[in-house]
Amino acid sequence: MVKGITVDLWDTLITDGHTMEHKRDEKRADMIMRILRLDESYRVKIMDFFVELVASFKCPLERNEWALLPYTQLQHLFDLIGVRVSDEQFEEILRIYTEEALDILPKLIEADVREILLELKSDYKIALISNTGRTPGRVLRKILKELNILDVFDALIFSDEVHLRKPNAQIFLLACEKLGTKPGETAHIGDSVNIDFLGARDAGLKPIQFLPDENRAFMHPLVKSLKDVRKVIEEHYD
């Protein structure tokens, strides 16, 4: 019987589309060039780095472990473009780099996400598991508070804070530990086949794919709306 639910964040609870993140990256590039006084020839190199960074998020491997933390992301970038950065410049860039999402907030993927989660919380413990990218857990907490869903969760697990990323089984097991549930009595909902569905399944959890867009690869069971999570749990796992 399912006693706990773990849920992905990006494109499962909140979203902003690729165009919005591209706009943030353009602002990050502007900021880096301004602080380091770089000429326009560096812009393409910096934006190419962001393309590489996104690819590393989609396929987290040992060779791109540098992408786990914003701090190491920037170190990797400065090595790539061959610039030297003072400690003061690095700290200023890191702060602005990580807080850019506060200026252009993402949106809830469904308007009634809070109500849906609270309804589920009446019977299940709920944990958030999020792979973080440019935006670390400390900033995501602020965003979740702005979106009025921070207080819904019994546990919050961000990859930059625990130094683990989905699909690593250990991050799912850590979530179960924090909820006080066994993997076999915990369902995980997320949009990614490899990172969420297969990662949770391999860790012993009961996976459910969130798939509002039918044109994407899919697994079963799946839900097209978070409103259907309880029904799918009862039909497939209880």
pLDDT in tens, 11-55: 999 998 768 889 999 999 999 999 999 999 999 999 999 999 999
pLDDT given for residue 111 in this prediction = 95
Q: What pLDDT score was predicted for residue 116?
A: 98
Query: Taking the CB of residue 185, how many other CB atoms lie within 10 A of it?
Result: 18
**Could you give the count of Cα atoms lying within 13 Å of 136 in the half-sphere of its Cβ?**
18
Question: What confidence tens digit (pLDDT) does each residue in 212-231 have?
Answer: 876 676 889 999 999 999 99
Q: What is the pTM of this model?
A: 0.94
Instruction: List Cα–Cα distances, 118 to 37, 73, 154, 189, in angstroms.
Output: 49, 36, 11, 16
| DSSP single-letter state for residue 37 | T
Buried b (16+ CB within 10 A) or exposed e, 70-84: beebbebbbeebeee
Say what the pLDDT of residue 42 is: 97
For tokens 């949009």, the residue is 191
Q: What is the spatial distance between Cα 209 and Cα 194, in angstroms, rounded to a whole number?
A: 10
Beta carbons within 8 Å of 134's beta carbon, 6+ residues apart: 24, 25, 28, 53, 70, 73, 97, 98, 100, 101
Q: What confidence score (pLDDT) does residue 217 get?
A: 67
Give 144-194 pLDDT, tens digit per residue. 999 999 999 999 999 999 999 999 999 999 999 999 999 999 999 999 999
Give CA–CA dist 92/148, Å, rounded.
29
Sign of CA dihedral 11, 178, 2, 149: negative
CB 175 within 8 A of CB 189: no
Backbone angles phi, psi at 189, to 5 degrees: -115, 130
Confidence of residue 63 (pLDDT cuts 50, 70, 90): confident
* Token representation of residue 49: 């780095």
Tens-digit pLDDT profile for residues 121-148: 999 999 999 999 999 999 999 999 999 9
**Antiparallel, parallel or unpaired: β 4-7 and 125-130:** parallel
Domain layout of the chain by residue ranges: 4-16+107-236, 17-102
Please name the residues in contact with 138: beta carbons below 8 A apart, sequence gap of 6 or more. none
Residue 11 backbone class (left: φ over 0; alpha: ψ -120 to 50; beta: rest) = left
Domain 4-16+107-236 has CATH 3.40.50.620: no
Q: Per-residue b/e over 196-231, b at no fewer than 16 CB within 10 Å?
A: bbbbbbebebbbbbbbbeeeeeeeebbbeebebbbe
